Each structure stands twice: as structure tokens, then as C-alpha cells.
Structure 1
Amino acid sequence: MKLMRVGTKGQEKPAVMADDGSIRDLSQIITDIAGDTLSDTVLEQLRQVDLQSLPELSSDERIGPCVGHVGKFICVGLNYVDHAEESGLPVPEEPVLFMKATSAIVGSNDNVIIPKNTNKVDWEVELGIVIGTEASYVSRENALSHVAGYCVVNDISERGFQIERGGQWVKGKSCDTFGPIGPWLVTRDEIEDPQNLNLWLEVDNHRYQDGNTGTMIFCVDEIVSYISQFMSLQPGDIISTGTPPGVGLGQKPEPIYLKAGQVMKLGIDGLGEQQQLTVSHQN
């Protein structure tokens, strides 16, 4: 299933994309795409619904974040060898973890705000894992059973905040609008192999990133198991799994960063596409 949340900010309705491309309202069945509604039991109930019997929503409505009420937004850094090299950092021996503030989360096509007093805003297309059932000390073999599905994430970063302001990555990752997710949460049964997905990103129609999840250093099942050794993962938590090479920081001979008025387009096989316009901060 391709689950989504549609409507104005803060008033999104749970929805599903039917096979014919229509968007169907799930409000009569569930309250939101969030928390316990992401369990295998509820997802299986939704699969049994005759989608054509549900009200159709306009395709012109805003697509909100594909998951609501996210508790944790966990990111894996430097998870592609080539990206670690372009960042001038060693290939990690264990997953590098950091948090991204949940207040950064926006819809897949919402504007991205360039923060005040910055000039190093960067892009990062990433595969997002959405947790469906609580995971604590889970084995790698059982890890995927705790996954509800996957989504596209643009892990937008302000490199000056990230690198030059005291060494805390979270400062460069958590600005408002720096976490577009969606358009869909695609349930795990539709993704045959999360380690064989092409992912790409363009700025103003120039392709900067063109990779495949098969080149991850740490795979999806390993990431879920690893994180669960340090903290419990709750339904609706999102894990962003790292980005392939081609970020602005790594461009030669000089880094290239985002400015207001540019358009980012990005996508992952089977998970849909995002498009964001960058805009100046309005005070």
C-alpha cells in the first residue's frame, strides 16, 4: 500500500493511493497514519478494504508528511563509502547516529526555508525506514518484521551549522522544513529488496546524486537492529539511512550550496518523488 496524509498543515487526513491512482480517504477507518495504526494487524485490515468504496480526495490537495506524530527522527551518517570520502571523513566502523528534530518534518512538496544567517544549505536524498512495532534489542534476522514501510527523505543540512558550530550535527540538520518525508509510506510488502533501490536528486534539473541502496555500508536490517541496542524504537519513528555521493559539500572544485528560488527534485524506486522550492526566511 501507498499510505499518505493529505490536507492543510495540521489538518491532514489519512489516505491511500488506489491502484488507479486515485487518493482515497481513510478517515472512516483510522484517525491518522501514525503510531499503532502502523502495526501489521492494522495494515492487514486496511489491505482488505474495498478502496473504491471510500471517498475520493482531490489530487490538488497538499500532500503532507506521510507519517504523523513522529516520536524520533534518527539519522545514519556517512553510510555510503563514496559519500564519506567526498566529505573528507573516514569510513565508519559502526553506524554514525544523530537526531534530527521532528519539528523539521514537512510534506514532500512543501517549500524549504533557507535559515537566517546561512549560506551552506545542502541536499541529501535518503531512504527512510518507518517503524511499525516496538523494537528493543532485536536481532538482525528479525529486524525487518518491525518495519512498517519505507519513504523518501530529503535530509537537508546546513553545513556551517553542522561542521563549524561546535561539532553537533543536530544543529545543522534540524532547521524548520529540513525534513521533507513522503509522498508515501510504502508498506514493506511492496518493496522486495530495500538494498536494491535507485535514488537520485536534482537541483534546477541538474542531477547531482544518482546512487543505489545496494552500496550502503550498513544495510536496513543491520541499522534497525543496531539502533535497537541503544534505544527502543517506537511505532512511527523514522530512520533516515544515509545519502549516496553527490551532495553540494562534495562538489569540485568548490562546494555548491542552495539559494532561494531553486527547485530540488528527488526520488527513490517505488517510493515516489519529491519537489521543493527553496525560499528565503521571512521574519
Structure 2
Amino acid sequence: MDERSAGGMVPVNTSVAHPARVYNVWLGGKDHYPADQEAARLAAAANPKIVPAVRANRAFLGRAVRQLAGEAGIRQFLDIGTGIPAADNTHEVAQRVDPGARVVYVDNDPIVLAHARALLVSTEQGATDYVEADLRDVDRILTAARETLDLSQPVALMLVAVLQYVPDADDPHGLARRLLDALAPGSHIVLSHPAADIGAEEVAASMRVYNDRAAEHAGATPRTHAEVTRFFDGAELLDPGVVQLPEWRPDPAGGTSPGELPMWCGVGRKP
């Protein structure tokens, strides 16, 4: 079944699962279809740590954005694979620190576009924009981003829980490097990724369940600590390096750690 996105132009295939909508299920949102609900339910049954990992991933994004907008003084963010808007989106966190922060979101699901137009509203001093594009289309992303961001000044490149949807055959490490290479010195890369070497059997089982129900070109690939660390080639890793989600600069008031979760994360600075 196809439905139409806002504006009636782009078909939305609701019969197969899409990453942004499945993620929305796990976050407790309402913007998804039965195919997404089934994929989310079965994947979480195969690996019960998925839901706490997804929520810890959202918390990591917030901590990283606060860190970069605050201590590092970053005022521009390129958030690729943004997903359906939820609480504490990148622009909201950044603009609390500096209302003049500028953010460009990128995703390839028309449902995300429909929500982004309505919900990703900037402060008067800052700016937000949305680009409908696939992560693989680096040139399109950079061209569109230049309409809002000054790429001659530092930018935070946000690749949070998105690179798993790029198979090895499409060279995800090369894509990340091309994006970082296009940014000014002092830019940062913020990245998280499902782990192939934490709870490996459960992760593999949940990925199989999800991939069997996902849209074409939307299958997921977990990667090892070494493979995730390679995404930071060309950048200087900030302490504490590539670690599990709860271990990246935890909020002292954040409560009890959820324990071992099957995702790696890190932040690096382009020298």
C-alpha cells in the first residue's frame, strides 16, 4: 500500500518497515504503520536490549549536542538520519545553548519530511532546514546544506544510529570521510552505531528479523568496535573514545546506568 506524504507528491510505502518509523515505535511515538510495529516488536523480542539502547542513544545525542554547543562553541549542525521528530531534537538542544544555532536535518523518509515541516521550528535568531536525501548522496546533501550552513566554519556532523543502514558494499566509511572532508577544521563528528561484538547472537537475530521486513536498501548491518572506530579516521577522538552509550560523558544527575547496551558511540574533532 502506498500513501501520499504532505503535499501529495511523494509516495510512502506503508507495507514495509522503514528505519525512522521503527525507531519511532521504540521511542514510544505514534508515527508509524503496522509493518513498522511488527518489525519493532519482533526485533525487540529477539534482543530485549534494543529499546533501552534506543533511548540511551537519544540521551547520548542530547549530551553530545550540549557538549559541542557549549564547551566547543559549535553553532552549526548537519544531522543526517534525523528520524521523526521527538523530544529534544538537535536544534532544540543547541538553541537552548545559543538561540542563533543553525541546523540542517537530512532523512529519506517522506513521513519524516511531513513532520519536520510542522515540528522542526527554529528560534527567530537561528535557523533550521530539512533536506530529503539518502546518506549515500553526499553531493546533494552538501549542496543543500550550504543554503543554511557556512561550511567554511566548524560544523557538527551528526551520524547518530544511521550508518548501519549503509551496507559495506556502499562504503559507509568512505561516505563518512567524504562528509567530514568537506567541513572546516574544528568541525566535529558525532556517531553511534549498533555493535556486532556486544550480545552478538541477540543483535544478529534482531537484525535478521528487521531486515526481513525492511524496505529495499533499508537493511541494517551491526559493526565491531574496530569498524566503528574507523569512522573517526581523520578526526581526533574526544575522551572517553569509542564506548558504549551510557559511558560517553554520563550526566551526573542521569540516574542508574542501564548497563551493557549493544551500541558504540563517540565524538571526534577534525584538526
TM over 0.5: no
TM-score with structure 1 setting the length: 0.27
Structure with greater strand share of residues: 1
Which gives a bigger RCO, structure 1 or 2 (Cα 8 Å, sep 6+)?
A: 1
- Of Structure 1 and Structure 2, the greater helix share is in 2
